[in-house]
Amino acid sequence: MNAAPEDTPACRDFDPARCCARLRGRPRAVAAAILLPLGIGAAWIFAMPKIYEATAWLEVLPHDPRVLDIDGVVDAEPDEADFLRTVEIKLRRASLFERVMETEPFPSRAEVAGLDAGERAQWLADRARARLVRQTRLVSVTVEDRDPDLATKLAAAIVDAFLDEETAWRRDAAGIAREFLNEEAARVHRELDAAEEALREMEKARAESPDPEPGADYREKLREADAARDFDRVVRERGRELEAAERLAALPFRLAEPARASRNPVRPDRFAVLAVSLVAAAFLVFLTGTVRCCGS
């Protein structure tokens, strides 16, 4: 029985120089080992659909993060990092994608035409992503598609829909806060008027009474009036809260850079395919030389 190639003296005494010399004597085998993976890689690049991506940049502006708590009339101080993550999450909402697909007349493709609202939103969600850039206030909104123009329109539409939703929500929240605070101011006005009227009545009764010493009722009303006379302080507090409500209505976002598509496709990655092909070619050449050397 013949011994296996690895048991032969030629393999135990492997000589790289001799194997390289033999490879030089077999150029066809070397050429085939190089061209085969390169040809497969080139065919892969041309056969796969080219995917482009468009990215829009949204900047979260420095702002007073206080949000008016209307129930308790207090200020909440959310962490800024949490607020930035909330923006990132909002840009991934299915409702946002549904709004984009409902309000914009695209895409006009057979793959989308027969889908319902939820499926169309999922179609967009599969192509879109929002990512917070670490250590910055920037959020990227990226859409991938084989049509770079469509990817650009979709990325811009997502940002526009997000800004519209935030504007409407903040306007409504500020309106509710202003209405509530105005009602509070009117209530304090009524309490002050009632306390002052009661004091005038009691002062008149004291003037007509033989006992000028103030009674318990009078002292109680006096305390109520003193509390009501702090209306200026209350007004100042309400004014600051109204300012907070006004700031709440102002968007802390701006479009840092409009959507722009990449010039070259992001998939398939030609450089990655080329690198893999070269590694495969080098391995095949090495394998060919080793087999030739050990098999001789």
The per-residue pLDDT for range 215-270, each reduced to its tens digit, is: 676 677 677 777 766 766 776 677 777 677 666 667 788 888 888 988 877 766 66
Among candidate residues 251, 244, 243, 202, the one with its CA nearest the CA of residue 222: 202
pTM over 0.85: no
Cis, bond preceding 16 (omega within 30 deg of 0): no
When divided into structural domains, the chain yields a total of 2
Do residues 108 and 127 both lie within one domain?
A: yes
**Amino acid, res. 197:** E
Q: Is the peptide bond before 49 cis (omega within 30 degrees of 0)?
A: no
The residues, ordered by sequence, that sit 6+ positions from 211 with a Cβ below 8 Å of its Cβ are none
Are 31 and 146 in a shared domain? no
Neighbours of 201 (CB within 10 A): 11
Contacts with 274 (C-beta within 8 Å, 6 or more apart), sequence order: 41
Amino acid at 100: V
Task: Indicate whether 13 and 59 sit together in one domain.
Answer: no
Whether residue 68 is predicted with pLDDT greater than 50 in this model: the reply is no
13 φ, ψ to 5°? -110, 60
Q: Regarding predicted confidence, which is higher, 81 or 254?
A: 254
pLDDT beyond 90 at 44? no
Give residue for tokens 């895409």.
107
295 and 155 assigned to the same domain: no
Q: At residue 31, does pLDDT exceed 80?
A: no
Question: What angle (nearest 5°) sits at the alpha carbon of residue 131, between those of residues 128 and 134?
Answer: 165
Residues ≥6 apart with Cβ < 8 Å to 60? 83, 84, 87, 137, 138, 139, 252, 253
Characterize 19-34 residue by residue with b for buried, 16 or more Cβ atoms within 10 angstroms of its Cβ, and e for exposed: beebbeeeeebbeebb
- pLDDT tens sequence across 93-150: 999 999 998 876 665 667 777 788 888 889 999 999 999 988 888 999 999 998 898 8
Mean pLDDT of 53-65: 82
Considering the domain architecture, whether residues 91 and 13 belong to the same structural domain is answered as no
How do strand 138-145 and strand 67-69 relate by DSSP bridges?
unpaired
**Which range marks the domain in which residue 117 is found?**
49-267
Residue 161: the pLDDT is: 92
- Rounded mean pLDDT of 53-62? 90
**Same structural domain, 186 and 107:** yes
Task: For residues 104 and 190, state if they share a domain.
Answer: yes
